[in-house]
Amino acid sequence: MEQFIQQLVNGISLGSIYALIALGYTMVYGIVKLINFAHGDVFMVGAFIGFYSITFLHLGFFPALLISMAACALFGVLIERIAYKPLRNATRIAALITAIGVSLFIEYGTIYIRGAQPEAYPNNVVPLKSIELFGVKISGQSILILAVSIFLMIVLQFVVHKTKIGKAMRAVSHDQDAAKLMGINVNNTISATFAIGSALAGAAGVIFGMYYTKIEPLMGIIPGLKAFVAAVLGGIGIIPGAMVGGLLLGVIEALVSALGGSLWRDAVAFIVLILILIFRPAGLFGKNVREKV
């Protein structure tokens, strides 16, 4: 029982990392109908920026988190402007292939610049003690991860629902031409979406580094794919869906590990993808919206 709860806590921590990455996938898909396969690599870049901020600039966790988010936001906007914007009216498959190309470019560009060797996050960044809860030891890091993730998701909900740019984002994702007729600058709105999604991936990168310690240039591939599964699980294009999908996937993986199938956890994530595509292709939160004429 104790081990079960321990795994549940691990699952929630892992799941909140998936959720943060999945949000970027889902927001970008919502607005430009593109699966941005380079998104997992933005997460990797975020982890490295956080690492260098902590080791070279001797910053604490929160400043490193902020720097990583800001740098990733900028990086995401650059990727969009350079690689995707020229293809906005091209076929979707062309944009998709470009996304895979961008992904490989970032991965091997990083290896070219700094080499392929892994790094280890220093473990004294957040001196947090473990907490005993119902007889289960919960690491302070798990709690910090969950707190930061929840905070970022609340901020995101606020931005999307209450601010002008958030409303513009929702309008553009629903109907670009109608949004233009309102005087909304579609290009800037798309850039803002990439910026926000990438900042969340950057945050996820730093949190991941803190929690799992080891980071390396190809670390974004598997979490990126898992987050994609999470986004599809929740319903691609739906923000609360990505949050729930991410947490759910993390918990499922942890429970599979707890039941002794830790070698199966990656497989299970993709089995979830296959099942959801067969039985509920619109995702848990998705519904077919019919429009009135």
Partner 1 sequence: MLKINDINVYYGNIHALKGVSLDINAGEIVTLIGANGAGKSTLLKTISGLLKPKTGEILFENEHVAGKVPQLIVKRGISQVPEGRRVFANMSVEENLELGAFLRKDKKGIQEDFDKVFQLFPRLLERRKQQSGTLSGGEQQMLAMGRALMARPRLLLLDEPSMGLAPLLVKTIFRIIEEINQTGTTILLVEQNANMALSIANRAYVIETGKIVASGTAAELGQSDQIRKAYLGGH
Nearer to partner 1, 191 or 198 (CB): 191
Asked if 113 interacts with partner 1 (CB under 8 A), we say: no
Q: Which residues pair with 134 in a beta bridge?
A: none
Is the distance from CB of 37 to CB of 100 less than 8 angstroms? yes
Among 78, 82, 120, 182, binds partner 1 (CB under 8 A): 182
Binding region for partner 1 (CB under 8 A) out of 35-43, 106-114, 123-131, 164-172: 164-172
Among 178, 274, 275, 277, binds partner 1 (CB under 8 A): 178
**Cα separation of the two ends of the chain:** 55
Query: Measured from the CB of residue 135, what is the shortest distance to partner 1 in angstroms?
Result: 45
**186-194: which pairs have CB atoms within 8 A and are 24 or more residues apart?**
187/85, 189/31, 189/165, 190/31, 190/32, 190/80, 190/85, 191/77, 191/80, 191/81, 192/165, 192/168, 193/27, 193/28, 193/30, 193/31, 193/32, 193/169, 194/28, 194/76, 194/77, 194/79, 194/80
Q: How far apart are CA 10 and CA 168, in angstroms?
A: 37
Nearer to partner 1, 127 or 183 (CB): 183
Query: Measured from the CB of residue 286, what is the shortest distance to partner 1 in angstroms?
Result: 13
Asked if 244 interacts with partner 1 (CB under 8 A), we say: no
Asked if 133 interacts with partner 1 (CB under 8 A), we say: no
Among 33, 114, 137, 174, binds partner 1 (CB under 8 A): 174
Asked if 288 interacts with partner 1 (CB under 8 A), we say: no
- Site residues (CB under 8 A) for partner 1? 164, 167-168, 170-171, 174-175, 177-185, 289, 291-293
